[in-house]
Copies of this chain bind each other. A is one copy, B any other.
Amino acid sequence: MNYYSDAITDLIDEFSHLPGIGAKSAQKLAFHVINMPEDQVKKLADTILSAKKNIHYCKECCTLTDQEICPICASSKRDHSTIMVVENTRDLAAYEKTGKYNGVYHVLHGAISPMLGIGPNDIRLKELMERLQKDVKELILATNSNLEGETTAMYISKLVKPTGIKVSKIASGVPVGGDLEYIDEVTLLRALEGRTEI
């Protein structure tokens, strides 16, 4: 049974389809929107539509952008011979926030996952291989440190190795500030394996 009128129920319904929004949050959001001033509601709706309309993949690195070539790929200050491979645009932003990486990126938009039926052709791998025809010196694999991410890194590394391009993988280990006793065994073993001389 509906306890609210249709327009409210529809809005709650729409919000509850978004990720991480449960029934209660959707209700809270819907009533918040209804109580917002009209111009703000219009701005919210317009921003949603315009983001969807204007955002597409960068022709170079496949990140989400509203330009043909994203600012990173278009920049002459970046080192275009080093490509970091990430799973999605958020991971790209995470590395950009460090402000220390000066190469360019390649966004796969996913990872190989036989469980979910995602194969090499379902991610932006073909585009990566095409980019490697140009003058690329190093490929840094920064896929996630889970089964899918590792599988994808392994797959790419096998594919690229014969070309002679240097392939590296970001280190996995104990996070900075992490308390050893709370860290899982796999990570601890990885950190041990990846130990470096000081």
Chain A residues in the interface with B (C-beta under 8 A): 3-8, 10-11, 13-14, 18-21, 25, 27-34, 36, 38, 41-52, 54-55, 64-67, 70-71, 88-90, 92-93, 96-97
Contact between B14 and A43, CB atoms less than 8 A apart = yes
Contact between A34 and B14, CB atoms less than 8 A apart = no
Contact between B52 and A33, CB atoms less than 8 A apart = yes
Given A7-B50, A31-B89, 6 other A-B contacts at CB below 8 A? Answer: A5-B55, A7-B51, A10-B51, A13-B47, A19-B28, A41-B48
- Closest-by-CB residue of B relative to A38 is B52
Task: Note all chain B residues with C-beta closer than 8 A to A25.
Answer: 20
Contact between A96 and B3, CB atoms less than 8 A apart = yes
Contact between B49 and A48, CB atoms less than 8 A apart = no
Docked complex Cα distance between A92 and B8 (Å)? 14
Instruction: Report how many copies the assembly holds.
Output: 2
Q: Write the nearest CB–CB distance from A14 to chain B, whole angstroms.
A: 5
Docked complex Cα distance between A25 and B83 (Å)? 28
Contact between B48 and A90, CB atoms less than 8 A apart = no
Of the residues B27, B32, B38, B51, contact of A8 by C-beta under 8 Å: B51
Contact between A41 and B33, CB atoms less than 8 A apart = no
Docked complex Cα distance between A11 and B36 (Å)? 17
Task: Note all chain B residues with C-beta closer than 8 A to A28.
Answer: 19-20, 90
Using known A-B contacts A3-B92, A19-B32, A64-B4, determine if residue A44 contacts B48 with beta carbons closer than 8 Å: yes
Contact between B32 and A55, CB atoms less than 8 A apart = no
Docked complex Cα distance between A128 and B43 (Å)? 34
Contact between A31 and B93, CB atoms less than 8 A apart = no
Contact between B14 and A54, CB atoms less than 8 A apart = no
Contact between A14 and B47, CB atoms less than 8 A apart = yes
Of the residues B4, B6, B31, B45, contact of A48 by C-beta under 8 Å: B45
